A and B are shown apart, each in its own frame.
Chain A
Amino acid sequence: MEATIDVTGLHKRFGSTTALDGMTFTVAPGQVTGFVGPNGAGKSTTMRVILGLDAQDEGIALISGQPYRRLRHPLHHVGALLDAAALHPARSGRNHLLWQAHSQGLSARRVDEVLGHTGMESAARRKAGGYSLGMRQRLGIAGALLGDPPVLMLDEPFNGLDPEGIVWMRGFLRELAAEGRAVLVSSHLMSELQDTAGHLVVVGRGKVVADTSVADLIATASGDRVTVRTSARTEAMTVLARAGATVTVSDRDTLTVTGLPSERVVALLGDAAVPFSEISAHRATLEAAYMELTRDAVEFRAATTEETAR
């Protein structure tokens, strides 16, 4: 059985609020899948439904083809970190993992192994109440790894990490995915997933807005625009238009070119001996692409709130 998370048509209402409205996506093994969307988009609810903690009104959520509640030794199938703060303050981090290990028939040795993987050995015997948020995240990751599962699901693991911790977490997640695991990582900040996620599931208003690879998303948002700064505006427009580009004047000495890659623009202008002082390819950041995608969701929610208020 391939390690996957399959979510199909999840619907869930809390009173009059629709939390999930047809959430559908698949998490494939071997890469980190970013699960992004604004706060309240339904990321945590989806994860709770996948883990059998919340009951969906409609739809199916499967881990490697099976509903979570049907799994025996579930921690061997999927490791999850929902809330790093879910600790008893008087219990040591090691004991927090130990009871989970015991529940799956695992030994204390495995606990010490995962504490080693996450760099938590030194703090493990201290009371968890004194842990920083970063330590709690590491402990939570350690807990998710206890059963050495092929599927990992982490809710906002970057929260509270210092820059060094963020770098560590990114590397760690990539390593886990490289081993062939399916890794789903939620975040409300796209920037956190930059250079980590290979695939993105962007959600808003309880459903998927975009389900795409990171490269495709950036390409779509960038839209192939090239900016040319030149003193010979008219000549440049003629040369480029003749080559099939759409050229618009954006300033006294600036042109915006679409339909041609930047290398081609450089070559054409060079061949025609048109002087130019700067050519820049416009490349959207992941953040900008994401903002564009989710703007609708945010606007829609604002509108809905008004309607409800009325």
Chain B
Amino acid sequence: MTDTMIDKITTYRSAQPAGRDGFAQLLRAEWTKFRSVRGWVVAAAVAAVLMILFGILVGNGSHSSVATPEHPEGIVGHPYIPIGPGGEAVTDSFYFVHQPLDGDGSITARITSLTGGVLSGPAGPAGPGAQAPALTAGAVQPWTKAGLIIKANTSQGSAYAAIMVTGAHGVRMQYNYTGDIAGPAWTVSTASPQWLRLTRAGDTISGYASSDGTTWTKVGTARLNGLPTSVSTGMFATSPGQSTFTQNFGGGRGIGSPTVASATFDSINLLGGSSSTAWTGTRIGDAGAPESFDASAGKYTVVGSGDIAPGNGDGSGSGIEHTLTGTFATLTLMVVLGVLFISTEYRRGLIRTSMTASPRRGRILAAKAIVIGAVTFVTGLIGAMITIPISEHFLRANGNFIAPITGLTEVRIVAGTAALLAIAAVLALAIGTIMRRSAGAVAAVIVLVVLPYILGTAGVLSAGASQWLLRIFPAAAFAIQQTIPAYHQVDGTYIPSQGYYPLAPWAGFAVLCAWAAIALGVAIYLLRRRDA
């Protein structure tokens, strides 16, 4: 029987009910595409496992030990690192000449000189058998500090507010380690002494400065919540270690040595409920340099070393994000996957099948972006959530210090790592769409996304070049993993190879998002315009 024998043609009508045609169906189709290629699913799993393996390597490979009088050869552990009222690791080493202050009151003093000295010889806390370092007079450090302080107690990390003169940053009011308010840009010398004052009213402490003792300038106010009624107040001096870190093509070099500050005070006036009148000198912390206090004829000379500042002094190697070093390996695999998710369709001619099933082409790319983004996000999330506790366990077992972070910061680095991977995969998908060829697009994505991260953080380029790479390339988004911020009031080595990114976490992430948005825009434009 042939068709020609049909007399009257009745158009075919399907008995099958029409299915739903919406974006959800397209998403489901793209998910089916992804999960039905076993190699892709395996690659995503391997990507997560790589992150975990790198985390274990980092945890296993980092060891810390400290020498104690009982164990001069060193035992597993790290030096005591105080935690500030804000929960962050802080440096709290200085020489404190103090009296108790009960309730409200004020302290005023004139500071007539601030000089410095550098300790030559081995740095660090003096252990048995260490050579006695020699102190030589030298210039004050820019952040050498001396002035007046109100502190909850004499233990490291306790709440405080202080008014001070500095080596090169004028008068400052600082509080609770992270707070810093700039005052007049005065410097101290015998010819131009400066007056400082702190007043306490409840939890509020105000700092004032004056160059003549009569006309006062208010520098700032700090609120120290929960400050006990009875606090310690008095004079302090401290000076951070002198360190220089130079980084050039091929590597970096750091040298450091402790310094001391010597400050002379007079005209001390302490008003308020004080139960004692004698000044006590206490060494807070140990910065590895000799500290002292000398009083004669109403003049007090305080010699101190260290810093009262955020961060654990060396500012390196203690952020929890080091456990996520394997992110770059996960990134590499997931961006390759992002490219292949579309470029294999071009290679096989499948893109025509896709576009026949969904003639609205922008929606295809949108569905693909959501699927590869979600797959990558989940991969990154699982990877990071497993990696951090495992690696942290190894790090702690090996005596390493890990700077404490808030729960919110932890959520930010875990979700941020997942989001960084997801958006990078979407960027790769867009590049794959633009270029259409797997090999070229994979190469382009590696050069654009992975290479700048490696170059920028491996310490092979100069610090300036590294910072520019991590400002303009998608790898800027790695800033989202940075847990310890760079503080302007601490002269640290704030370079990418030390874990400090040039952009703030969300700003860095926004750079990646901008790249992905532009690439997706170009991809959709080309997808609509080109013949398939």
Contact = CB atoms under 8 A, between A and B. Distances in A.
A224 to B, nearest CB: 22
Interface of A: 1-3, 28-32, 48, 51-55, 68-76, 80, 82-83, 85-92, 95-96, 98-107, 110, 143, 147-150, 174, 177-181, 195, 198, 215
Contacts of B4: 31, 198, 215
A82 B30 CA distance: 21
A198 B3 contact: yes
A215 B2 CA distance: 13
6 contacts: A29-B12, A75-B357, A85-B349, A99-B29, A104-B19, A105-B20
Interface stretch (B35-43, B75-83, B188-196): B35-43
A157 to B, nearest CB: 15
Nearest to A150: B12
B352 interface: yes
Contact of A88 (B3, B14, B344): B344
Q: Which of A102, A147, A174, A181 is the most central at the interface, judged by chain B CB atoms within 10 Å of its CB?
A: A102
Contacts of B470: none
A71 B355 CA distance: 12
Contact of A76 (B9, B18, B359, B531): B18
A179 B350 contact: no
B24 to A, nearest CB: 9
A91 B350 CA distance: 12
Contacts of A103: 25-26, 28-29, 357-358
Contacts of A96: 36
A143 B353 contact: yes
B171 to A, nearest CB: 69
Given A87-B350, A102-B32, A143-B353, A174 B3 contact: yes
B259 to A, nearest CB: 64
A74 B357 contact: yes
A310 B389 CA distance: 74
Nearest to B2: A174
Contacts of A88: 33, 37, 344-345, 348, 350
A148 B9 CA distance: 18
Nearest to B38: A90
B19 A105 contact: yes
A91 B36 contact: yes
Interface in B48-91: none
Contact of A73 (B12, B18, B352, B532): B18
A296 B359 CA distance: 37
A3 B12 contact: yes
A86 B350 contact: yes
A70 to B, nearest CB: 8
Contact of B3 (A98, A104, A148, A178): A178
A31 B3 contact: yes
Contact of B37 (A82, A90, A102, A105): A90
B352 A99 contact: no
B279 to A, nearest CB: 80
B355 A52 contact: yes
A103 B29 CA distance: 5
Contacts of B214: none
B136 interface: no
Contacts of B255: none
Contacts of A195: 2
B321 to A, nearest CB: 36
Given A100-B357, A103-B358, A30 B19 contact: no
A53 B355 contact: yes
A3 B11 contact: yes
B37 A32 contact: no
B66 to A, nearest CB: 54
Nearest to B28: A102
A3 B350 CA distance: 26
B215 interface: no
A76 B17 CA distance: 9
B12 A53 contact: no
B13 interface: yes
Contacts of B348: 85-89
Contact of B10 (A28, A85, A180): A180
Contacts of A105: 18-22, 25
Contacts of A86: 348-350, 352-353
Nearest to B9: A30
Given A2-B11, A104-B357, A99 B3 contact: no
A55 to B, nearest CB: 6
A235 to B, nearest CB: 41
Given A53-B356, A104-B357, A29 B11 contact: yes
A181 B15 CA distance: 13
6 closest A-B pairs (Cβ-Cβ)?
A105-B19, A30-B9, A95-B36, A103-B29, A105-B20, A86-B349
